[in-house]
Chains A and B, each alone.
Chain A
Amino acid sequence: MEGFIATGLIGISLGSQYTLLALGFTLIFGILGVVNFAHGGFYVMGGYVAYYCTSMLGLSYPVALLIAVGSTAMLGWLFETLILERVIEDHQATLMVTMGFYLVMATAILMIFGAESPEFSFPIAGVWRAGGVYFPYANMVVLGVCLAAIVLVYWLVYRTNLGRAMRAMAEDRAVASALGMRTKVLFPFAFALATGLAGLTGALVTPILALAPHVGDPVLAFSFLTVILGGLGSVTGATVAAFIVGLVEAYAAVYLGGSKGALTLFVLVLIILVIRPQGLLGKEVRRA
């Protein structure tokens, strides 16, 4: 029973990480109509920026987190404004450009930091225990920050003018701009928000999992999976799906063993998509 609860906690903690990644991914898709293949790159970059700030510059971890968020958001903003914006109407071009940008980011990190995993561990060690339930403090902090970030994103999307404009933009771009909403401001903002969330996740999670130039690949795959499961473009769908994915992954890994965990997840997703091709909370296919 204790093992069951502990695994559940890990699952929820994984779910909150996936939520941050998936929220960014789904916002970019919903608002800009772009599948961001560079999403994993911003996760890796967040990790390396935090690593550089703590290990090389000797800054404290919370400061490093903020710098990681700021720098990934800034790069996302620049990338959207300078490059993506020029090809935004052309679906294939946005795929190529984001994919290409991911390769550039991964290679740049490889050149600067080398191929080997750097020594980057979470500043808080120790394990919380209650009876037979174990939960590392590091995971607890990650869970707390992720949940706070999720609440912040929800507040932004559902309680502010900016969020209302972003949702309107996601539903009908032409009508939204005909009502005075500024695409030129909102597109880069949404992109920066999303990449900042990916950077935050990277800075939080890579010290627990692993930091290496290629760790962005599975991140992209999981973000994609989560967002499709939840329904492309749906914010709540992405959140629900992320927690499902996290819990399934945690339980399957513990009770079925590593590779069977991934298999269980993909089979489950496949079954759900056969029954509900639009995803759990997806409505309809996005108008082209």
Chain B
Amino acid sequence: MLSIEDLHVAYGGTRAVDGVTLQVEAGQTVLLIGANGAGKSSLINSVIGLVRHSRGRIRFDGRDISAMPSDARARAGIGYSPEGRRVFAAMSVKDNVLAGAARLSAREQAARWDRMVASFRFLGERQSQPAGELSGGQQQLVAIARAMGGAPRLLLLDEPFLGLAPVWIQQISAAVRQMQDEGIAVLMTEQMARPALKIAHYGHVMRSGQIRRSGLTSEIRGAALAEEYL
């Protein structure tokens, strides 16, 4: 579904991503694990097109999307939940969630919203509250629901556990499992290896813009946990 070949991203002279190759198959959850500055976010952002890569190729559904602007990539079926959540703070929870659903008809939007509320009850309870007033964990769920608004087939989750209490990490994990049950492929990054390994199928350990270890989550557990302490 998503295929990244020899990806290079550089900011000025700094190499953020230095020749990464990886695949995400349909329905698969792939984890990128690594410390701050390992290049995880740069990789995610280059998949959605917020960062331009200097070399390499990104294919989605067999199509090279390197030249597409980020809004076209989103409409092609890629959902995006950014690092630090970045919810639209002044907008209501419902407007946040439906922001990614603009091209659906009013009826489809209503159906989409009802499904989201069925999965995450608090969205309905807080629907008219400005998203900026919510707690970090709630904002993270809003960001994920917002990414799901456009009914994507691939979901990019950039550090979904960042700064969250354990109870919220469980909630987010449950949400990700629900996406998996719906057959959605997920590419996620995390510094917190322990909870992230539980929900992923396959993992890559990143350091200094390169992939150091790859494998099934059971195979890379040791290397991933070691990385957590670096």
Contact = CB atoms under 8 A, between A and B. Distances in A.
Interface of A: 161, 164-165, 167-168, 171-172, 174-184, 283
B99 A168 contact: yes
Nearest to B98: A164
Contacts of B50: 174, 177-178
A180 B75 contact: yes
A181 B91 contact: no
A247 to B, nearest CB: 26
Contacts of B150: 179-180
A181 B86 contact: no
A182 B88 contact: no
Q: Which of B71, B89, B150 has the most CB of A within 10 A?
A: B71
Contact of B99 (A165, A174, A182, A183): A165
B71 A172 contact: no
A23 B80 CA distance: 31
Contact of A177 (B69, B88, B149): B69
Interface residues of B, number: 27
Contacts of B88: 167-168, 171-172, 175-176
Nearest to B76: A180
B98 A178 contact: no
A78 B95 CA distance: 30
B121 interface: no
A182 B70 CA distance: 9
A180 B100 contact: yes
Q: Which of B49, B70, B75 has the most CB of A within 10 A?
A: B70
Contacts of A175: 80, 82, 86, 88
A178 B91 contact: no
Interface string B94-110: 01001110110000000
Contacts of A171: 88-91
Contacts of A181: 71, 99, 102
B112 interface: no
Q: Which of B49, B100, B147 has the most CB of A within 10 A?
A: B100
Given A179-B79, A180-B102, 14 more contacts: A165-B102, A167-B91, A171-B88, A175-B82, A175-B86, A177-B69, A177-B74, A178-B48, A178-B70, A178-B71, A179-B150, A180-B75, A184-B69, A283-B89
6 contacts: A167-B91, A168-B91, A177-B70, A178-B50, A180-B102, A181-B102
Given A167-B91, A171-B88, A171-B89, A178 B102 contact: no
B141 to A, nearest CB: 16
Nearest to B147: A179
A176 B99 CA distance: 8
A80 B68 CA distance: 22
Q: Which of A172, A175, A182 has the most CB of B within 10 A?
A: A175
Nearest to A164: B95
Interface string B128-165: 00000000000000000011011000000000000000
A180 B71 contact: yes
Interface in B169-193: none
A174 B84 CA distance: 13
B157 to A, nearest CB: 13
B99 A178 contact: no
A34 B45 CA distance: 25
- State the 8 A-B residue pairs at the shortest beta-carbon distance, nearest first: A180-B74, A179-B100, A171-B88, A178-B80, A177-B71, A161-B102, A168-B99, A180-B75
Nearest to B77: A180
Contact of B80 (A164, A168, A179, A184): A179
Nearest to A181: B71
Contacts of B74: 177-180
Contact of B90 (A174, A178, A283): A283
A104 B50 CA distance: 36
A164 B91 contact: yes
Contacts of A178: 48-50, 70-71, 73-74, 80, 82
